[in-house]
Structure 1
Amino acid sequence: MANSALEIVGLILTLIGLIGAAASTGMPMWRVTAFIGENIIVFESRFEGLWMNCFRQANIRMQCKAYDSLLALPPDLQAARGLMCCALALSGLGLLISLLGLQCTSCIVNNDRVKRLVLIIAGTMIMMACICVLIPVSWTGHVIIRDFYNPLLLDAQRRELGEALYIGWVASAFLFAGGCMFICCNMQSEDKDSERYVYLKTPEYRTYPPQPLQPQQLVRLPQPQPQFEPALSRHPSTNYSYYSSYPSVHSGVAYL
């Protein structure tokens, strides 16, 4: 019952992490214009994302434009695109696979070991998705902080951390928690429920190599001699093959 509740909690955390990763991938607020100076009146803001650039002026709606060429993008942005797409695919597949292994579902009947194995595989995929989200978000944050303190750049070229980066970090935390619940809970139940027989090697333990079969000599057993049964005859006979407790006729004549 406890494992079933933890599995549902892990499923909810994974779903929240998947939604956060999808939102972070689509949002253009990865790099935000840094306003440095004494003038507090802001007329224009610029946002840079994975797929487009956006501009927003005072009292005007946001206008966005997609990137014209993928090869013209910096390396960190190209890697971030691929890793975020991989994260979405892995977390989505892990979420679907975990539905097959939940104890409250009847997809796999009467086989708890297979259910646990399915959940461990789903948890591993979710952990990989967490890593795929964490790498581009942290890499982009490192580049932004490095360029912000670069004295060779102008103030107009400096950028700040956008909302999409914070959402990505939170989403990776949710994915990490969901994957850990799927993996750790099922590994503990596997060790608890499985019955394993361990053979201890004591000092008296010896291994005997297999011996080849040797041809055995045939031995002839002695056959018992047939015993003759006394036969009935009309003629009297003095030879008897068995002892009788009654006196015979010849013995009575001899006694007389």
Structure 2
Amino acid sequence: MVSIHMVIGFVGICVCCGIPMWRVTSYIGANIVTGQMVWDGLWMNCVMQSTGQMQCKVQDSIMRLTQDLQAARALTVIAIVIGFIGMLLTFVGGQCSSCLKKESSMAKVLILGGILCIVAGVICLIPVCWSSAYTISDFQSVLTIETQKRELGASIYIGWGASGFLLFGGIILCTSCPPSEDMYPKYPGMYPYQGPMYGPPGSYLPAKTYAPSAVYTGAYVPNKPYPPPTYSPVPGQYL
């Protein structure tokens, strides 16, 4: 069964990749009426005026982005693909699916799906932490102009939450579904037949034969002779 944590984490990664709120700046000019907010994202930049009007521009060239956002583009897309494959495997190996018949195979597929979700969470966590560190260092730098300073946007927090959900869901799935092997036969009292022992290729080892402790000659000779029975005159009695 697909864990609800994985679904929330996968949706969170998609939202984090799509919305243009990796860096947010808000400032007010000389006149209080003229204020604006600037949103920087992976795919577009948006400017919202104080009047409520918003203008967005798609990033035509990836070279205009900073290094952290360039890496975030690739890593978030990779995380989405890996997370989708992990969720698909957990669905295939779930109890409600009839694709697999053996419980051991289902458990192995579920564990593989959980591992892929953990990998997706780690891949998503890398660009989010990198971008947040870059934004904080740029904000604290004295060389940055006051109107160009950026703050952490909503995408950073959504990415942290999505990574946490994917990691938590993948760990739960890997620890709660150990592969069950058929250690015992299906029917009680029935044991599988073990064939003869073979040595190196091309050689056959017959079963061991043991020499008898005494040689049988075909005639039995008692150690102590017994006299023949004698009968009394009375019928049915022995002497």
TM-score, length of structure 2 as denominator length: 0.72
Where does residue 222 of structure 2 map in the other structure?
Answer: none
**What is aligned with 2:223?**
none
Out of 173, 180, 183, the position equivalent to 1:195 is 183
The match for 2:109 is 118
Gaps of at least 5 residues in structure 1 are 1-6, 197-208, 214-256
Residues 98, 72 of structure 1: alpha-carbon distance in 2 compared, 3 angstrom cutoff: same
Kindly state the Cα deviation for residue 173 of structure 1 after the two structures are TM-superposed.
0.8
SS at match of 1:50: coil
Structure 1 letter corresponding to 2:58? A
- Residue correspondence of structure 1 range 179-190 to structure 2 within 5 A: 179-187=170-178, 190=180
Q: Which residue of structure 2 aligns with residue 54 of structure 1?
A: 46
- Identify if the C-alpha distance between structure 1 residues 40 and 116 changes in structure 2 by more than 3 Å, giving closer, same or farther: farther
**Residue type of the alignment partner of 2:169:** G
Range moving further from structure 2, 38-47 or 53-62: 38-47
> CA shift at 1:35, angstroms?
3.7
Separation (CA, whole Å) in 1 of partners of 2:30 and 2:165: 39
State the Cα distance separating 1:37 from its structure 2 match.
9.7
Q: Aligned pair in 2 of structure 1 residues 41, 169: CA closer, same or farther (>3 Å)?
A: farther
| Counterpart for residue 15 of structure 2 | 23
User: Which of 136, 142, 146 is 2:137 aligned to?
Assistant: 146
2:151 maps to which residue?
160
User: Which of 1 and 2 has greater Rg?
Assistant: 1
What percentage of residue pairs aligned between the two structures are identical? 39
Map 1:102-113 onto structure 2 (within 5 A). Answer: 102-109=94-101, 111-113=102-104
Whether 2:56 is the aligned partner of 1:64: answer: yes
Once the 2 structures are TM-superposed, how far is the Cα of residue 68 of structure 1 from its aligned partner? 1.8
Tell me: CA distance 1:156–1:99, structure 2 relative to 1, closer, same or farther (3 Å): same
Q: Deviations over 1:214-234 (max 9, x none)?
A: xxxxxxxxxxxxxxxxxxxxx
Q: Taking structure 1 as reference, are residues 41 and 174 closer, same or farther at Cα in structure 2, changes over 3 Å only?
A: farther
The runs of 5 or more residues in structure 2 that have no matched partner are 185-198, 205-239
Counterpart CA distance in 1 for 2:182 and 2:147 is 63
Listed as ranges, the matches of 1:1-256 within 5 Å are 7-8=1-2, 11-35=3-27, 43-109=35-101, 111-187=102-178, 190=180, 195=183
For residues 132 and 15 of structure 2, the distance between their equivalents in structure 1, rounded to whole angstroms, comes to 17
Is contact 2:28-2:35 (8 Å) kept?
no
Counterpart-to-counterpart distance in 1, 2:10 and 2:153: 19
Larger helix percent: 1
Q: Which amino acid aligns with 2:160?
A: W
| 1:38 shift after superposition | 11
Q: Deviations over 1:110-158 (max 9, x none)?
A: x111101101110111011001110011110000111111111111121
TM-score normalized with structure 1 length: 0.67
1:64 is paired with a residue whose SS is strand
Query: Alignment RMSD, CA only?
Result: 2.5
CA contact (8 A) 1:36 1:155 kept: no
Distance 1:33 1:128, change over 3 A: same
C-alpha displacement of 1:36: 8.4
1:28 alignment partner AA: P
How far apart, CA to CA, are the structure 1 residues paired with 2:34 and 2:177?
Answer: 54
SS of the residue 2:37 aligns to:
strand
The alpha-carbon deviation at position 93 of structure 1 amounts to: 0.9
What is the aligned residue count? Answer: 188
Cα pair 1:101 1:116 within 8 Å, conserved: yes
2: CA distance, partners of 1:39 / 1:177: 48
Report the AA paired with residue 100 of structure 1. V
